[in-house]
Amino acid sequence: MAKQEMASFRKSFFRFWWQFNWRGRSQRSEYWYGTLSFYLFIFLIMPLFFAGYSIADDSIEGGSWIGLLLGILAIPLILWAVSMRWTAVVRRAHDIGMPGWMTVVPPVLSVLGEVVVFPAMEESPLHGVMSFLVDILFRLVPGCLGLYIWLSISFRASEQRANEYGDVPNQIGE
């Protein structure tokens, strides 16, 4: 049986940031190195965004527009980072045999509940009774499902055989 080689930080970093690919598989080490680099990037870019917003808020009254420019430049960087993160999550889901669309279900249910269902529930005459059931359906279920998916993606071992999403990543002979 072939042994799985751990991906290096450099390889993981490259695949995470420069390979926009929903197909294929990513092993645990690649997923975790990419996750680490994502949070470091967000930690560095978010102060730029908020500083830009703060400066722009003050500058609209007659100061500099540099803050607004910083905030505007940070938005595409954040969107790019989030999309790269999502592709890594989908590839990791593929590695454990889970379909990638499963990673979308919890956030979609949560957003659907917050944007569509909860505002409509406040006007309903059954607000008290139905609110409990709707809370369970659109908050508790997506939360538990999201936790299960996150734990599976984060800690479950790769399938040690080729699956419908591709060959075992970084497989080496014994």
Per residue in 104-143, is it b (16+ CB within 10 Å) or e — as a string?
Answer: eebeebbeebeeeeeeebeeeeeeeeeeeebeeebeebbe
Would strands 171-172 and 3-4 be described as parallel, antiparallel, or unpaired? antiparallel
Q: What per-residue confidence (pLDDT) applies to 63?
A: 45
Q: How many helices (H) and strands (E) does the chain have?
A: 7, 2
pLDDT at 53: 60
Calculate ∠ Cα 81-83-89, nearest 5°.
Answer: 105
pTM: 0.75
**pLDDT at 96 (0 to 100):** 92
Task: Supply the pLDDT for residue 15.
Answer: 79
pLDDT of residue 106: 87
- Alpha-carbon torsion (132, 137, 139, 144), positive or negative: positive
Task: Please give the average per-residue pLDDT across 46-70, as a whole number.
Answer: 62
Q: Which residues contact 166 (CB under 8 A, 6 or more apart)?
A: 23, 24, 25, 94
Tell me the pLDDT tens digit for each residue of 29-45.
888 888 998 999 888 87
Structure confidence at residue 114 (pLDDT): 76
Are the CB atoms for 29 and 158 separated by under 8 Å? Answer: no
**Cβ atoms within 10 Å of 42's Cβ, excluding its own:** 16
Mean pLDDT of 65-92: 83
Average pLDDT, the chain: 79
Q: What is the per-residue pLDDT for 5?
A: 66
pLDDT at 46 over 60: yes
Res. 11 pLDDT band, cuts 50 70 90: confident
DSSP label at residue 166: B
Q: Is residue 111 scored above 70 in pLDDT?
A: yes
In angstroms, what is the C-alpha Rg of the chain? 21
